[in-house]
A = this chain, B = another copy of it.
Amino acid sequence: MDATPQEFDRVLSSMCTRPHPAAARAAERFLADNPGDPATYPDVATLEERAVATLGDVTGLDDPAGYVASGGTEANLQAVRAARDRAASGDPTVVAPTSVHFSFQKAADVLGVDLHLVPVDDDHRADTDALAAAIDDDTALVVAVAGTTEFGRVDPIPEVGSIAREAGARFHVDAAWGGFHLPFTDHAWHFGHASLDTLTIDPHKVGRAPIPAGGFLARDEATLDALAVETPYLETTSQATLTGTRSGAGVAGAAAALDEQWPDAYEENHERAAANAVHLAEQLTDRGYDVVAPELPLVAFSLSDAEFDAARDAGWRLSRTGSGEARVVCMPHVTRAMLDAFLDTLDAARVGASG
């Protein structure tokens, strides 16, 4: 077969990364197991319980309800679905900042709910006044983000939670990417800090688990009960997950990644990634680029089309935000040397363009 796996040495655009070696080994061991059928595959079900328990430790929840999902899209969709199905309104809607991940648009389309997107403030964070103004009696769910996809911003989570609670709406935090950085910052973002009902945190992003390993967590078992559809013939009586057959590799990989890395290795990674982001931001600023000062290890900056194309031609995987900035995510595989090589590419492109 002539296709080759993607090398990570020039990948700056992805929120996924190389799995931790222990997680990859666990994934290979449990490749043939199906956590969706615990009567046939009981051991991998215990690994899932372990992974969820550790995710509870990460997210401030003593007795978490939840599961290892196919990804953040499923987790976000399930949060909207739980809110839709438990809503008092006959036409439940979702209110969220424009910075939310695309999966909320997908969820709205699939689930048949309206999604009201509210412009963010000048620093790319949720505007709490605007969110409050957008909420009405139909609002079933308010969403905030702890580590946005485009700018790595953390919304004012406790304030948004208060707004949701006052309105009688549920509150979901999407920490799919941010969730393995935020335990090591001063932000208030999780179940212990605010009135969240549900949260997304993806082991297969910064957590270094293999795909597929998203995380869906709920404060109450009642949320999972609301998602459960009765099964007529499986030896389990109901199923809350969106998928049926599920990946043992993902579940075992998530359990191993968390066992190996929480909390110390994740803390080391955060420190290194944050330092890398600061370094990149400083180096870009010194070179005259407009840089959005990073809050979490993600750096957005202005970049001409010519330089963007030159970077891609040199093999860099780089992406743009909706407003046109180039965007570098300082994932675990991103080293200081990679960033300096990227800067060299930009330097050569600028020289080439002027000369």
Contact (Cβ within 8 A) A248 B13? no
Contact (Cβ within 8 A) B3 A102? no
| Chain B residue, CB-CB nearest to A105 | B229
Contact (Cβ within 8 A) A256 B1? yes
Do A6 and B212 contact each other (CB < 8 Å), given the known contacts A1-B47, A1-B259, A235-B319? no
Contact (Cβ within 8 A) A32 B3? no
Per-position 1/0 for A13-29, Cβ under 8 A of B: 11011110000101111
Measured between C-beta atoms, what is the minimum distance from A268 to chain B in Å? 21
Chain B residues positioned under 8 Å from A106 (CB to CB): 229, 239, 242, 244
Contact (Cβ within 8 A) A231 B43? no
Chain B residues positioned under 8 Å from A102 (CB to CB): 229, 231-234, 239, 244
Measured between C-beta atoms, what is the minimum distance from A94 to chain B in Å? 15
Q: Which of A65-73, A132-140, A181-189, A270-278 contacts B (4 or more CB under 8 A)?
A: A65-73
Measured between C-beta atoms, what is the minimum distance from A297 to chain B in Å? 18
Q: Which of A34-42, A53-61, A288-296, A341-349 contacts B (4 or more CB under 8 A)?
A: A34-42
Do A44 and B1 contact each other (CB < 8 Å), given the known contacts A211-B247, A248-B211? no
A233 to B327, CA, bound (A): 11
Contact (Cβ within 8 A) B109 A111? no
Say yes or no: is A103 at the interface (Cβ < 8 Å to chain B). Answer: yes
Say yes or no: is A243 at the interface (Cβ < 8 Å to chain B). Answer: yes
* Secondary structure dominating the interface of A: loop
Contact (Cβ within 8 A) B30 A5? yes
A46 to B1, CA, bound (A): 11
Contact (Cβ within 8 A) A6 B18? no
Contact (Cβ within 8 A) A43 B73? no
Say yes or no: is A320 at the interface (Cβ < 8 Å to chain B). Answer: yes
Q: Mind listing 19 A-B residue pairs with CB under 8 Å?
A: A3-B252, A6-B40, A27-B31, A70-B70, A70-B212, A70-B243, A71-B246, A73-B244, A102-B234, A102-B239, A106-B229, A106-B242, A110-B110, A149-B233, A204-B245, A212-B245, A212-B247, A212-B250, A235-B320
The 7 nearest A-B residue pairs measured at CB: A73-B244, A3-B43, A233-B322, A71-B245, A40-B317, A6-B41, A106-B229
A24-B31, A106-B244 provided; 14 other pairs, C-beta below 8 A? A5-B43, A16-B32, A19-B32, A32-B211, A39-B319, A70-B70, A70-B212, A70-B243, A71-B243, A105-B230, A212-B246, A212-B250, A232-B322, A233-B320
Residue ranges of A at the interface with B (Cβ–Cβ < 8 Å)? 1, 3-6, 8, 11, 13-14, 16-19, 24, 26-34, 37, 39-44, 46-47, 70-74, 81, 101-103, 105-106, 109-112, 149-150, 202, 204, 210-212, 214, 229-235, 239, 242-250, 252, 255-256, 259, 317, 319-322
